[in-house]
Amino acid sequence: MKIAFIVRRFPTLSETFLLNQITGLMDLGHSVDIFRTIPSEQSKVQPIVEEYGLLKRTRSIRKPTSIPGRVPEGLRMLVSGLFKNPGLMLRALNVFKYGRKAGSLRYLYLASSFTGSYDIVHCHYGMLGDIGVLLRDLGARTGPVLTTFHGFDITTHLQSHGNDCYRNLFKKGDRFLPISENWRCRLIDLGCPPERIVVHRMAVDCGQFCFIPRSLSSGKTASVLSVARFVEKKGLEYSIRAVAALHKRGVDLQYTIIGDGELRPTLAGLIEELDAGDRIRLDGWQPQDKVLLAMKSAHILLAPSVTASSGDQEGIPVALMEAMAMGLPIVSTFHSGIPELVEDGISGVLVPPRDSKVLEDALHDLISNPGRWAAMGKAARERVESDYNITSQVRKLEQIYIDASRDSS
């Protein structure tokens, strides 16, 4: 199959789930092109991006430039596109049907990015699904349109755009792929046709993650790790407070946070305020090989996710899957789809969100009982291998594509 992925930023260090899915499909012999709405601002990329030549397969979706340059550039696009797909170009200029957006040349710029032919259009994040159905409406040579819903696209996005913002997408889209049962229920509440919903989980390549049973020798320091963007929904404020309190209680631990983001100054200030700089380290973004090294040497993975004040929520963090694949016991929260991955008391410990004291006590209990770690780590690895393994999930995605193509023919 020839598949078009419509995504936001690409490539990004944090969205390894996209890389896993794209490269997994390529390994099965499919051709994948990537269309991004926002150019990546990161200078670092995962090694797999170069290994698979993904930058050569990546195009930016064109948007109108300033008014003086818009018309000349639009004319060049029109002339070029008329040789490849004249119907698409002309429909993109149909102001009688599409009104102001066609008149502003917005749709012409969009159409000029998609003059090829695709068997499947897979849109990651709900708001990009509208691009997929619009392209088909304009006459692009595309097959079924599938839309994956992750988290903020059915939380924060709805607060600013309303609960009916996906009405057209629900009507015209072929398949809707929430990454958790939690989001499947949410889509149904929003009016999405249940018969076109298929839960399809993000996944990791278990072969890349060496399983290591965890233990702690007497007198050794417990190593706690978080891998997360520095944004409110990751709940890092609560983990920092919990670790600082444990240090004051005399617990010997070291907490490393890999990541970066808008809250870095706030989190750094909190660490200084709590006088915990010798026990809590902000390591910044790291390439995947460095993340794996950190997970290899850690004892516990901490993911204190919360619902942000904006309403933004997690889906199921991929960092949890990676850590569990390596045998790390998990301490996380009863939040969004996390309980679908982490079984409380079996593969990890879950606590209510936004409660640093409960988080502190859970960490203290787990650190004080390292004899539980090996069994938790084994259960964690088995859980990921069973339901969050990229090999099986890509096969399932391939079958979803086949079923959608059959139903649309």
pLDDT digits (tens, 9 = 90+) for 146-165: 999 999 999 999 998 999 99
Query: In this predicted model, what pLDDT tens digit does every residue of 80-122 receive, in sequence order?
Result: 888 888 888 899 999 999 998 888 898 998 988 888 899 999 9
Both 401 and 308 in a single domain?
A: no
Residue 73 has pLDDT above 90, yes or no: no
Q: Give the pLDDT band of residue 46 (cuts 50, 70, 90).
A: confident
Q: Which residues pair with 300 in a beta bridge?
A: 224
Which sign, positive or negative, has the C-alpha torsion 370, 375, 381, 387?
Answer: negative
The answer to whether residue 41 is domain-embedded is yes
Residues 353 and 212 in one domain: yes
Average confidence (pLDDT) over 354-379: 97
Assess whether 257 and 404 both reside in one domain. Answer: no
Q: Let me know whether 151 and 219 are in one domain.
A: no
Whether the predicted pLDDT of 13 surpasses 90: no
Residues 290 and 360 in one domain: yes
Give the model's pLDDT for residue 235. Answer: 98
Asked whether residue 51 is assigned to any structural domain, the reply reads yes
Q: Domain for residue 77, yes or no? A: no
Burial string for 275-295 (b: 16+ CB within 10 Å, else e) reads ebeebbebbebbeeeebeebb
Residue 14 has a pLDDT of 75
Q: Percent of the chain, pLDDT > 90?
A: 79
Mean pLDDT, range 339-361, rounded to an integer: 98
Confidence of residue 76 (pLDDT cuts 50, 70, 90): confident
Q: Give the distance from CA 77 to its chain's centroid.
A: 33
Phi, psi of 120 (to 5 degrees): -140, 140
Domain that holds residue 342: 206-387
CATH (domain of 151): 3.40.50.2000
Indicate if the pLDDT at residue 42 is higher than 70: no
Q: What is the pLDDT of residue 287?
A: 83
Kindly state whether residue 302 falls inside one of the protein's structural domains: yes
Does 292 share its domain with 277?
yes
Domain match, 358 and 286 both: yes
Q: Read off the amino acid at residue 385.
A: E
Local confidence band at 314 (pLDDT 50, 70, 90 cut-offs): very high
What is the total count of domains within the chain?
Answer: 2
Q: Is the pLDDT of residue 350 over 80?
A: yes
Is 90 exceeded by the pLDDT of residue 211? yes
pLDDT score recorded for residue 43: 66
Is the separation of the CB atoms in 59 and 113 below 8 Å?
A: yes
Q: Are residues 249 and 383 in the same domain?
A: yes
pLDDT at 83: 84
pLDDT band at residue 62 using 50, 70 and 90 as cut-offs: confident
For the sheet containing 222-227, what is the strand order?
280-284, 253-258, 222-227, 300-303, 330-333, 348-351
Summary mean pLDDT of the chain: 94
Nearest CA to 316 out of 261, 388, 244 is that of 388
pLDDT tens-digit series, residues 225-282: 999 999 999 999 999 999 999 999 999 999 999 999 999 999 999 999 999 999 999 9
Rounded mean pLDDT of 124-130? Answer: 96
Query: 167 and 306: one domain?
Result: no
pLDDT of residue 329: 96
Quick one: pLDDT at residue 121? 97
Give a yes or no: residue 90 inside a domain.
no
Say what the pTM is. Answer: 0.91
Q: Please compute the mean of the pLDDT values over residues 200-214 and round it to a whole number.
A: 94
Q: Do 243 and 264 share a domain, yes or no? A: yes
Is 354 domain-assigned? yes
Task: Give the integer Cα–Cα distance in Å for 232 and 307.
Answer: 8
Nearest CA to 213 out of 330, 332, 301, 296 is that of: 296
- As a whole number, mean pLDDT of residues 309-332 equals 95
- In the predicted structure, residue 69 carries a pLDDT above the cut 80: no
